[in-house]
Structure formats: structure tokens, C-alpha cells
């Protein structure tokens, strides 16, 4: 079969690229090696982890705050099996939705491993049959997989990745997380809420180290209330499955050896690009020393008809980043001139409180030597936050010292994941802190904290603190 555009991989980047290609009139195909569409994000990543985060947050609130709200219940019991069943239902509904969108947009779906025969020909291998298709353009969207360490190989039994952490059959008594980044903090929160003793071991001197340092400090304060124990500036040296427990050895910042024992050890040190089985060499492609497929500013590879998007190329490994790239490639192929401002792609940690950031961090501005001013406003000063008992958190706004243009917005607090869109909007239109401060924000809302932080950045004019 002959296609105009073929996408290999059906994650958020791949399926969105397919939809936009079809909308633009291209005869489009998508290749997925698994039985369900949606990739890591929908099947074993973003969607299932958020389902578990929501379930455990409900449990945690029932256990800790219902009484103060005047809701009298017997002591709740966590049913991990039911939580995982509900998560599976959410995943199925979401993946079924993607399948519907493929049919709606008349996109041909081929299940099997797609590999290049040459730059225009792709072999699709499944357990049932092998077939070949040809395509004028190909978009590689094969995503990523969990990274491990030479001395901490994931065995999927006791030494686990995020995939297995979302399928455990028991609530661990002791749960060690290697890595205090997004995945480690989210899944550490899940199990801490339902009774596990969670220890987070982080090599750096702060958690969520890619975000503004204020966010890491505030998240650590908030999640310590869940009982999470943090071991910062610790270098893990060995992880060993002992049968019924895992032994983890690490060195603290003084070089002393520290031992940890756990029922399960989650290795959450990041993800790496996934290109196995693609047969890149047959198309004249290769990966760099980080395993990434290199692309130019138009996301075109070194082969003129092949593009790559998402986790398999440079940049943050975010579903929404991959989606924007999928749209960009499809629109370019149609002769349009789309653009992505990578600095304005937000990052989110779905703990509670949530953390969300966009633009420059304070550390980056200092490193660049760019004059800036900062304004902050705490959630505890918000009437809305007091009403909901979500007083942990702060909004931090960074603006150019001379022009007042907003350069960064960093939020930790209730609904930060939704609130950050206001920061993205303001920064896309190059708004000043004064512009946002002059806008009317409904009262009482969490968004008032953004207005107040902008006021604080503008001649320290915050009203309510």
C-alpha cells in the first residue's frame, strides 16, 4: 500500500501527527507494535499514573481531612486491587478513544513492529504476518522507555520501573525510590498516601532538579507531611534483589556507605529514547551518543523525507511537547509555517500540591546574567485555599527588570497544572507582570495568587500579604 504520510508509534506525538496529517488531506497510516494505541503515555505512563494519584489522594483526604470538613466515616481501608482496576478502566476508555479518532479521520492502523527496508518502504512484522507499505513521508514517533543503571537492572519483580509500580499486587511496607524527579515524586506520593514507608534517594542536592529551586524546596516540605524520607546528595552504588526484599547501597555526600532495605525499589532516574527494531541503518539513519535521532529546526532527519518527534529526539520528554511537534511536521508537509516556542512548553509534577513551571527558572536567569525581578505569593494567604484546606504552595513570577516582560512562572499548589496555562498564554503574547496584575481575577480563586505574584513583581504591590 502507498501512503502520503506514515507515522511509526501511536503515542500522543504519533496519533496527533496522524490526525493532523489526515485533516490536511494526506493519505495517512500509523504503525503500532502493541495491541492498543496510545503509547507509553496512555497505557503505562501519564494517564494510569494520574488515575492512581487521584485515587490515593481521595483516600488520603478521607483519612486526614474529612473529619475537619464535618464528614464522619469509619477508618478507611485502601483497596489497591480496586484502584488498579479503576486505573485499567480509565486507560481502556482513553485508548478506545484514540482508536475511534483513527477511524473518524480515516487513518489506516497497522499493528506490528515497523522497520525500514529503505527510506520509503516499511516492513510491518506481527505474529500473524509480515507486510510492506511505502510512504512519501515517514514520521518516527517511537518514544522512550525507562532508563536503568548498570548496577540497578530492572528485573520487573523487586527492582521495578514505573510500569510495574502501577501494577503492584500489594501495598509495600517499605518502598525505596531512586530519583527525586517527576516520576519518582509522583509514584512515591502514591504509595506514601496508602501506608508505605517511602524513601527517596536523590543524587542531586534537591528534588525535581530541572525546575526552579523554590519548587523543589516547597514540594519537599509538603511531601514530608506524607512521611516521605529524603536522602539528598546520595549516590546509589548497588541495588540487589535478595528474594523477598531489595538491598540498596549508597554513599552520602561525605562518602559514608548507607544501606537501605525495601520490599520494592523503583528506579526512576529518567527515560531513554526507544529505537530498537526500527532498522534505522536501512534508511540511512543512526542515533547519536545519547540514543537520540538528530533533527534540524524543522524536525527533519538527515534523510530528506523522514522526520522524528517526541521522546526520540532532543528536548524534554513530555507528551504535550510531542503533540506540538507532530502538528508542526504535518503542517510543514502541507506547506504551512508553524512554530514552536520550546521555552514556553510547561512542565508539571502531579503530586499534591501540584507543581507547574514555564519559562526561565531563577537559576537560568542568574546563569545568563539577565537582570530580573521576582514576585511571590503564598497559597496560605488565599481565601479559596483556606476554604479547601489546600494552603501549601506559592506562585513565583520572574520578570525582566527593565521591560517587566514575564520571563518565568512557577507554581506549586492546588490546581497548579491547570493554572500554568495562564502563564503560557501571557508569555506567548509577551505580557508584562503589570498586564496580568491589571486583569480582573475572579474571587475567591486559586488564580488570584498569580495576580498577586505579578503585583509583587511590579514594585512589590501585592495586596493580600
Q: What is the mean pLDDT of residues 281-299?
A: 98
Q: Which CATH superfamily is domain 353-457 in?
A: FAD/NAD-linked reductase, C-terminal dimerisation domain (3.30.390.30)
pLDDT tens digits, 181-239: 999 999 999 999 999 999 999 999 999 999 999 999 999 999 999 999 999 999 999 99
Contact 345, 317 (CB under 8 A): no
Strand 113-118 relative to strand 108-111, pairing:
unpaired
What pLDDT is recorded for position 462? 82
d(CA 225, CA 248): 24
Q: What is the pTM of this model?
A: 0.96
Residue with cell 543503571: 149
Return the domain boundaries, the chain: 2-146+272-342, 159-269, 353-457
Q: Where are the alpha helices (DSSP H) in 212-292?
A: 213-224
| Tally of CB atoms within 10 A around 261 | 13
What pLDDT is recorded for position 96? 97
Contact 300, 22 (CB under 8 A): no
Using DSSP, state whether 177 is helix, strand or coil: strand
Contacts of 174 (CB under 8 A, 6+ apart): 196, 197, 199, 245, 261, 262, 263
Q: 124 is written with which cell numbers?
A: 510491518
Provide the mean pLDDT of the chain: 97
What pLDDT is recorded for position 128? 76
pLDDT tens digits, 125-178: 998 789 999 999 999 999 999 999 999 999 999 999 999 999 999 999 999 999
Architecture of the domain made up of 2-146+272-342: 3-Layer(bba) Sandwich (3.50)
CATH 3.50.50.60 is the classification of domain 159-269: yes
pLDDT tens digits, 34-91: 999 999 999 999 999 999 999 999 999 999 999 999 999 999 999 999 999 999 999 9
Q: What is the mean pLDDT of residues 394-408?
A: 98
pLDDT band at 359 (very low <50, low <70, confident <90, very high): very high
Do domains 159-269 and 353-457 share one topology? The answer is no
Active-site residue set: 443
Amino acid at each position: 500500500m502507498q501512503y502520503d504520510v506514515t507515522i511509526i508509534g501511536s503515542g500522543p506525538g504519533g496519533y496527533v501527527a496522524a490526525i493532523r496529517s489526515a485533516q490536511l488531506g494526506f493519505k495517512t497510516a500509523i504503525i503500532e507494535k502493541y495491541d492498543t494505541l496510545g503509547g507509553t503515555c496512555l497505557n503505562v505512563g501519564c494517564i494510569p499514573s494520574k488515575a492512581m494519584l487521584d485515587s490515593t489522594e481521595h483516600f488520603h483526604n478521607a483519612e486526614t481531612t474529612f473529619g475537619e470538613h464535618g464528614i464522619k466515616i469509619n477508618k478507611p481501608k485502601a483497596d489497591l486491587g480496586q484502584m488498579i482496576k479503576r486505573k485499567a478502566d480509565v486507560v481502556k476508555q482513553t485508548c478506545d478513544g484514540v482508536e475511534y479518532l483513527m477511524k473518524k479521520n480515516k487513518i489506516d492502523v497497522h499493528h506490528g513492529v515497523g522497520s525500514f527496508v529503505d527510506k520509503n518502504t516499511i516492513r510491518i512484522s506481527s505474529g500473524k504476518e509480515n507486510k510492506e507499505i511505502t510512504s512519501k513521508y515517514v514520521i518516527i514517533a517511537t518514544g522512550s522507555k525507562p532508563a536503568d543503571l548498570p548496577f540497578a537492572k530492572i528485573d520487573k519483580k523487586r527492582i521495578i520501573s514505573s510500569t510495574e509500580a502501577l501494577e503492584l499486587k500489594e501495598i509495600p511496607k517499605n518502598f525505596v525510590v531512586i530519583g527525586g524527579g517527576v516520576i519518582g515524586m509522583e509514584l512515591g506520593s502514591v504509595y506514601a498516601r496508602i501506608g508505605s514507608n517511602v524513601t527517596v534517594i536523590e543524587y542531586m542536592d534537591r528534588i525535581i532538579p530541572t525546575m526552579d529551586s523554590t519548587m523543589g524546596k516547597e514540594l519537599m516540605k509538603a511531601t514530608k507531611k506524607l512521611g516521605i524520607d529524603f536522602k539528598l546528595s546520595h549516590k546509589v552504588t548497588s541495588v540487589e534483589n535478595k528474594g523477598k526484599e531489595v538491598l540498596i547501597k549508597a554513599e552520602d555526600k561525605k562518602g559514608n556507605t548507607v544501606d537501605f532495605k525495601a520490599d520494592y525499589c523503583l528506579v526512576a532516574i529518567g527515560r531513554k529514547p526507544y529505537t530498537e527494531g526500527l532498522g534505522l541503518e536501512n534508511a540511512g539513519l543512526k542515533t547519536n551518543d545519547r540514543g537520540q535521532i538528530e533533527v534540524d529546526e524543522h524536525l527533519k532527519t538527515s534523510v530528506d523525507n523522514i522526520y522524528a518527534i517526541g521522546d526520540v529526539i532532543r528536548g524534554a520528554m513530555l507528551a504535550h511537547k510531542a503533540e506540538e511537534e507532530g502538528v508542526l511536521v504535518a503542517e510543514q508537509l502541507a506547506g504551512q509555517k508553524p512554530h514552536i516556542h520550546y521555552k514556553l512548553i510547561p512542565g508539571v509534577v502531579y503530586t499534591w500540591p501540584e507543581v507547574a513551571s514555564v519559562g526561565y527558572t531563577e537559576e537560568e536567569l542568574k546563569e545568563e546574567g539577565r537582570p530580573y525581578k521576582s514576585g511571590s505569593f503564598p497559597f496560605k494567604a488565599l481565601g479559596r485555599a483556606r476554604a479547601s484546606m489546600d494552603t501549601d504552595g506559592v506562585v513565583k513570577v520572574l520578570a525582566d527588570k527593565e521591560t517587566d516582560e514575564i520571563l518565568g512562572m512557577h507554581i506549586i499548589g492546588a490546581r497548579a497544572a491547570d493554572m500554568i496555562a495562564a502563564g503560557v498564554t501571557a508569555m506567548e503574547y509577551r505580557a508584562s507582570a503589570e498586564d496580568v496584575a491589571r486583569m480582573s481575577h475572579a474571587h475567591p480563586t486559586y488564580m488570584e495568587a498569580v495576580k498577586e505574584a505579578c503585583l509583587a513583581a511590579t514594585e512589590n504591590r501585592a495586596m493580600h500579604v
